[in-house]
Amino acid sequence: MDTPTCYHCGDTCGNTTINYDDRSFCCNGCKTVYEIFSNNDLSYYYDLQSAAGTTPNEMEGKFDFLESEKIQEKLIEFNDNGLQIVNLQIPHIHCSSCIWILENLNRLAPGISSSQVDFPEKTVRVNYNSEKTPLKDVVLLLARIGYEPYISLKDFDNVKKIKDRSLIYKLGIAGFAFGNVMFLSFPEYFDVGEYWLEQFKVVFRWLMFAFSLPVVFYSGQDFFISAYKGLRSRFLNIDVPIALGILVLFIRSTVEIIFDWGSGFFDSLTGLVFFLLLGKFFQQKTYSYLSFERDYKSYFPIAITRITKENKEENVQVYDLEKGDRILIRSGEIIPVDAILMSGSAKIDYSFVTGESEPVHKNSGDKIFAGGKQLGSAIEIEAVKSVSQSYLTQLWSNAVFQEDKSSSFKTLTDRIGKRFTIAVLTIAFVSSAVWLFLDPGKIINVFTAVLIIACPCAIALAAPFTLGNMLRIFGRHKFYLKDTKSIEQLAQIDTGIFDKTGTITTAADSQVHYEGMELTLEEESLLKNTLRSSNHPLSRKLYELLADHDIITLTDYEEQLGQGITGTTVHDKIKIGSPSFVGSNLNNPTENTAVHISANDQYKGRYIFQNHYREGVEKIFKDMSTDMELAILSGDNDGERATLSKLLPKGTALYFNQKPENKLEFISRLQEQHKKVLMVGDGLNDAGALAQSDVGIAISENINVFSPACDGILDAKNFKHLYLYILASRKAIKIIKLSFLLSLMYNVVGLYFAVTGQLEPVIAAILMPLSSISIVAFTTVSTNLLGRKLDK
């Protein structure tokens, strides 16, 4: 008697059959997984994909090496207080159900808090508590549910990715078969009546059938698999009409030669698959090139302060850091590399990495992991490895920062793709039904021609190529956006909100003078060392102006956003910030920005900054006011209201004395009025407002403050071009729409010939990839021309 099919893996791998819950399982591993899924309300897995992943094997003892701490250290990205993060290669990820189950691992093991799949790289990043679920148990769990990780320690530090050449093999086989089938079809084409050719027509037809078998079942298998997975998930993807066309052509052709009705459509069939794969190959090559070009990791604007052997501070780019370098980390800065704390007391916020907001305290000699943010005073660390910038950029797309604004936003392709596919299928079936009464012999020709000529591949290509190329162009101009969705959202902006200090003003060219009581040497030294820990633009400017003093260790450091900073030693305390923060009752506020000082609760005086506005501010606001509402949200007093009123266009709203929470609430109220809000800030006090806005852009002065809450980072030197970037985003969307229109025009013309039965499938098979190629060429050339305009 045949062994029943396993309910979990769909195989018959077991020598014995295990019956459980009225279902058959081939082994205890499959039964265990089913129990886990059932007990954790994950039985929907079997509706989505009955045999995702690979068949589980007995894994006992296979992963014992993961109990070694030395091996764990090589694999684990983050390890602190039992919380660990590991990124595992999963070769068998292949469909939506794989993603679904791998991102629900937290429901299968008590120690796993979250897991995130990177489908193109076929990896899963798992956050887990090693005390509840050790690394070995995480790997065993993955293996038992059919997703055994690929772990190779031999070349761990120099992993070479294996290139997937399957598309090339499939294209080669399809091309070889297409050429031979065309050659064998010549007698059918010309009907020469030659004796020997007529005698061997049947042989030629069966040879064509033989050549078509590897084309359909090997070269074309991806189209069938993709269509099947889409339909099983109740989703109409673009491979559904393609798979239907291939299947209908093959069945019809086979029936014709079996009953000797004709030679069939094997030439059209093999030609269709060949040209589809040729178009796919071109798309893959071009998109890989653009992906490399637009990779913002290559020029991601994060710098760091390195301490030289002469005990001097210098700004360097993060990828210039090497093992053994001594680094200064100020309050609010991201730690770019795994390191040892050398001096100071660290208070690390790892929420960027783990989502846990509780700060972790570290002392001298402790290990600190990349991705943490220092909350206390400045610390010095020593790098224990070189920087992995790709790891830093993962923070930008961390699930912690995926707010509703991203999930609720629907791209152009999302909105049109499904409707287009439904429309194509409707036209195909309706036109076939009409020809059933007019001329039944043309039904197959019409049906397949419609499916091929109206394939929405071109529409699916327009947005990725256009927006991907725009990311590359923006990056070249030192405007770094998180993803392509940010470009689409930027194009819809109708309201612009700007911070003042550090955003439209710059401390670099400001003139500073002091008013008040003279500071003692001890007070000035404490002031200098307190400012050393801060990243606020005014703090950095004042720090540079003050005379050099010996570095002292602060016993306490606190920074209150929008208010000021406090530095404390054993004997003294100093406050720097707003009048109310330092305890001043000053009755003569200056029109300029001022930083007030108090030492040991005694008001000392203030440093007055002669504000210097960035180049092009007046023109930017004038241009932007033509098609959007503008406002200034400043944490400073209204001393510069008159100056700003003259500088900015009439009607620009000015709001002063705004705390960080006030800015966030202001943007939220605008969004309730269905406004699309752009927030431009310095990335420090404005983190909440940047995250709340539809598009948040952080102006980067020293490029050493990283705010994952923002959607883009703009080099301060290019602030004057901000409006040009907004206009370029709008033009990029127009390019996509023109691409859709071009595709639609092509489809209208093609459909006319298809539904009237005048279009041969092989011609359609040639034209379809050519339409995709033309869309790619149009979007690439158009965006490059747009980029040249930005260069001027």
Pair 480, 625 in one domain = yes
**Of 460, 440, 438, 594, which is closest to residue 516 (Cα–Cα)?**
594
Q: What share of the chain is helix, strand, coil (3-state, %, to 5)?
A: 50, 20, 30
Residue 409 has a pLDDT of 46
- CA 657 – CA 637 distance, rounded (Å): 5
**What's the start-to-end Cα distance of the chain, in Å?**
78
Pair 604, 620 in one domain = no
Pair 383, 424 in one domain = no
Residue 615 has a pLDDT of 84
Rounded to the nearest 10°, the torsion over CA 266, 267, 271, 273 is 0
Sort 502 into a burial class: Cβ within 10 Å, 0-12 / 13-18 / 19+: buried
Backbone angles phi, psi at 359, to 5 degrees: -65, 150
Asked if 138 and 127 touch (Cβ cutoff 8 Å), the reply is no
Pair 177, 148 in one domain = no
Pair 472, 575 in one domain = no
How many domains is the chain partitioned into structurally? 5
Residue 497 has a pLDDT of 92
Residue 61 has a pLDDT of 63
Of 555, 590, 612, the residue at which a domain comes to its end is 612
Q: How many angstroms from the chain centroid is the CA of residue 754?
A: 39
**Of 643, 672, 627, which is closest to residue 491 (Cα–Cα)?**
627
Specify the 3-state DSSP secondary structure of 247: helix
Rounded to the nearest 10°, the torsion over CA 42, 48, 53, 55 is 80
Q: What are the C-alpha distances in Å from 674 to residues 690, 694, 733?
A: 17, 11, 20
Pair 514, 371 in one domain = no
Residue 475 has a pLDDT of 81
Pair 140, 207 in one domain = no
Of 612, 646, 679, the residue at which a domain comes to its end is 612
CATH number at residue 547: 3.40.1110.10
Continuous H helices in 386-495: 389-394, 404-407, 412-438, 443-453, 457-476, 484-491
**Dihedral over Cα of 91, 95, 99, 101: its sign:** negative
| Domain assignment of residue 497, yes or no | yes
Specify the 3-state DSSP secondary structure of 113: strand
Residue 157 has a pLDDT of 46
Pair 601, 459 in one domain = no
| Domain assignment of residue 25, yes or no | no
Residue 731 has a pLDDT of 92
> Domain span at residue 202?
166-293+414-465+763-782
Asked if 563 and 578 touch (Cβ cutoff 8 Å), the reply is yes
Q: What are the C-alpha distances in Å from 191 to residues 261, 566, 572?
A: 16, 95, 104
Residue 173 has a pLDDT of 92
| Domain assignment of residue 324, yes or no | yes
Pair 381, 339 in one domain = yes
The sheet carrying 479-481 orders its strands as 479-481, 712-715, 695-700, 677-681, 495-498, 629-633, 653-655
Rounded to the nearest 10°, the torsion over CA 164, 168, 171, 176 is -140
CATH number at residue 708: 3.40.50.1000
Asked if 714 and 700 touch (Cβ cutoff 8 Å), the reply is yes
Question: 369: which DSSP letter?
Answer: -
Rounded to the nearest 10°, the torsion over CA 758, 764, 765, 769 is 180
**Of 447, 419, 413, which is closest to residue 432 (Cα–Cα)?**
447
CATH number at residue 364: 2.70.150.10
Task: Tally Cβ neighbours within 10 Å of residue 159.
Answer: 10
Residue 677 has a pLDDT of 92
Question: 338: which DSSP letter?
Answer: -
Asked if 240 and 189 touch (Cβ cutoff 8 Å), the reply is no
| Domain assignment of residue 6, yes or no | no
Helix pair 166-184, 266-293: axis angle to 10 deg: 150
Q: What are the C-alpha distances in Å from 463 to residues 88, 288, 333, 466, 725?
A: 30, 15, 35, 5, 18
| Domain assignment of residue 678, yes or no | yes
The two tokens of residue 355 are: 């989502």
Pair 75, 217 in one domain = no
Low-confidence ranges of the chain (pLDDT < 50): 1, 12-15, 48-57, 154-160, 287, 290-299, 301, 399-404, 406-409, 761
Amino acid type, 104: N
Of 134, 158, 182, the residue at which a domain comes to its end is 158
Q: How many residues does the chain have?
A: 792
Pair 270, 307 in one domain = no
Backbone angles phi, psi at 363, to 5 degrees: -115, 170
| Domain assignment of residue 734, yes or no | no
Please report the DSSP string for 652-701 in residue order: -EEE-S--HHHHHHHHHHHHHTT--EEEEE-SSTTHHHHHHSSEEEEEES
| Domain assignment of residue 406, yes or no | no
Pair 518, 597 in one domain = yes
- CA 95 – CA 338 distance, rounded (Å): 35
Mean predicted lDDT score pLDDT of the chain: 76
| Domain assignment of residue 748, yes or no | no
- CA 573 – CA 602 distance, rounded (Å): 10
Task: Tally Cβ neighbours within 10 Å of residue 480.
Answer: 24
**Of 715, 707, 675, which is closest to residue 693 (Cα–Cα)?**
675
**Of 367, 372, 399, 400, which is closest to residue 385 (Cα–Cα)?**
367
Specify the 3-state DSSP secondary structure of 17: coil
Residue 630 has a pLDDT of 92
The two tokens of residue 398 are: 């961390």
